[in-house]
Chain A
Amino acid sequence: TRPDVLPLPSGTHLLYAQSGRIEHVPMDGYDMKKDDAKAILHLPEKVIIGVAYDCVEKMVYWTDITTPTISKASIQGGQPTAVIRSDLNSPEGLAIDHLGRTMFWTDSMKDCIEVASLDGSQRRVIVDSDLVNPRAIIADPPNGYLYWADWNRDAPKIETSYMDGSNRRVLVKDDLGLPNGLTYDSQSSMLCWADAGTHKMECMHPDRGDRRQVMEGVQYPFGIVSFGKNIYYTDWKRDAVIAVDRYAGRESDEFQPQKRTKLYGIAIAYAHCPSGQNYCAVN
């Protein structure tokens, strides 16, 4: 069941982290305008891992493991501001609930998942047990769910819970290797992940549990983000952003930045917020 291609808002960009920089690639439909790729932010001393975008205030957020901090900056220009600067060890994945105005992140040394308002206030630990190497985290605010992946080599898993950490359960635990990247597509209600151990990209409906392979032979995925018919992921072996057509199940494009070094988190900066109401607003 292939959904209709949605009319795309103008001014959509891919954002990704590479070696102390956040770079952007403008999108023309589903095509990466590679020649127009540029750094939007230079933070030479930092190692930026997670990248997330707040479509309401047009802000990019990121985790940095060197200081360590969680910071933000407007994509329309402006100074980076640290929003969380204490009690972090290795903040990696970052997710933004643009409706609830909160952010969620994983810390692979504290082995926990935390939440805070976008200004850093009202911070709270929501999951702190049975985590070994938590990394990717995403939020689905219209339905009120969080999803995260733990690449623990002994027992990798993908889990879900309500957005306060309650009702936690394991969604996937079989035939996983190193599930580094996780993304949720609200149009198709599909949760997709990229695995650097099995070298597969897979998707499932979280509530139906039907799991299917998008493609195999992905080399070393780290970050992944879904956008319409495509999934874009960063690859540590190829030092590139790779576009995969979800429905055709094959690679459709590749962008290799001039600088050959690892790429980390990836996010989509939408020109407009996707439609949808907060789950809590409905109830």
Chain B
Amino acid sequence: DATQGTSGDCQPCPCPAGATCAVVPKTREVVCTNCPAGTTGKRCELCDDGFFGDPLGQNGPVRVCRACKCSDNIDPNAVGNCNRETGECLKCIYNTDGFFCDRCKEGFYGNALATNPADKCKPCSCSPSGTVGRQTSCSQVTGQCQCLPNVAERDCSACEPGFFNLLSGDGCERCNCNPIGSTN
């Protein structure tokens, strides 16, 4: 307030260099109006959408705002791709998941960091009748589903040699063929 005639009438903006500020008429709150590029917030303490960091170091060391780091597994046309402070990725695509979209989401396996989207994360597609508890998830890396006893294949879709009755849902049973009357 420049009309009071005291030395404290005009105070510097509590904003980073270059930013201007204004007083919200109703609340008398001071808000920065022209935050440096990539930053926003009342005190320019936040990063713009699509960026993350802690530009004023409010929760630790200063981290300048950087573009969301999500392993190339976000879409630049999306909004809100990562948490503006922590950088946690919020909109992973190509069936990826995790803080940095760096692993396959539940029910998928493969290499989330592969360059070609088609090589990234594939569905587990576990065979329900051959999988323990009809689970839909598998090993993140190999894609191996958890098979019932005597069940084979990555997706638990076949009996081991010498076993039959996959559809029982309890694993496969030994054939018990008489060696004398069988061809092999």
Q: How far is the CB of A19 from chain B (nearest CB, A)?
A: 5
Q: Is the CB of B37 within 8 A of A261?
A: yes
Best-surrounded residue of A19, A90, A262 (most CB of chain B within 10 A):
A19
Best-surrounded residue of A49, A65, A66, A261 (most CB of chain B within 10 A):
A261
- Looking at B76-84, B126-134, B138-146, B160-168, the stretch in contact with chain A turns out to be B76-84
| Also in contact, A49 and B79, with CB within 8 A (given A19-B48, A44-B31, A262-B50) | yes
Q: Is the CB of A65 within 8 A of B79?
A: yes
C-alpha spacing A65/B78, complex, angstroms: 12
- What per-residue 1/0 map shows which CB atoms of B64-84 lie under 8 Å from chain A? 000000000001011110001
Q: Is the CB of B79 within 8 A of A90?
A: yes
Q: Is the CB of B31 within 8 A of A42?
A: yes
Q: How far is the CB of A184 from chain B (nearest CB, A)?
A: 22
Which residues of the partner chain B approach A42 to less than 8 Å between Cβ atoms? 24, 31
C-alpha spacing A47/B34, complex, angstroms: 16
* Residues 38 to 93 of chain A near chain B (Cβ within 8 Å): 39, 42, 44-45, 47, 49, 65-66, 90, 92
* Residues 4 to 29 of chain B near chain A (Cβ within 8 Å): 24
- What per-residue 1/0 map shows which CB atoms of A252-283 lie under 8 Å from chain B? 00000011111010000000000000000000
B-side interface size class = 20 to 34
Which residues of the partner chain B approach A153 to less than 8 Å between Cβ atoms? 75, 77
Q: Is B154 in contact with chain A by the CB < 8 A criterion?
A: no
A44's contact among B34, B42, B80, by CB below 8 Å, is which?
B42
Best-surrounded residue of A20, A49, A258 (most CB of chain B within 10 A):
A20
7 smallest CB-CB distances across A and B, nearest first, come from A65-B80, A44-B42, A44-B41, A47-B49, A19-B40, A178-B77, A261-B48
Please name 14 further chain A to chain B contacts, defined as beta carbons within 8 Å, in addition to the given A44-B42, A65-B79, A262-B48, sorted by A numbering. Answer: A19-B49, A39-B33, A42-B31, A44-B32, A44-B40, A47-B79, A65-B49, A90-B80, A90-B91, A92-B79, A259-B35, A261-B40, A262-B49, A262-B50
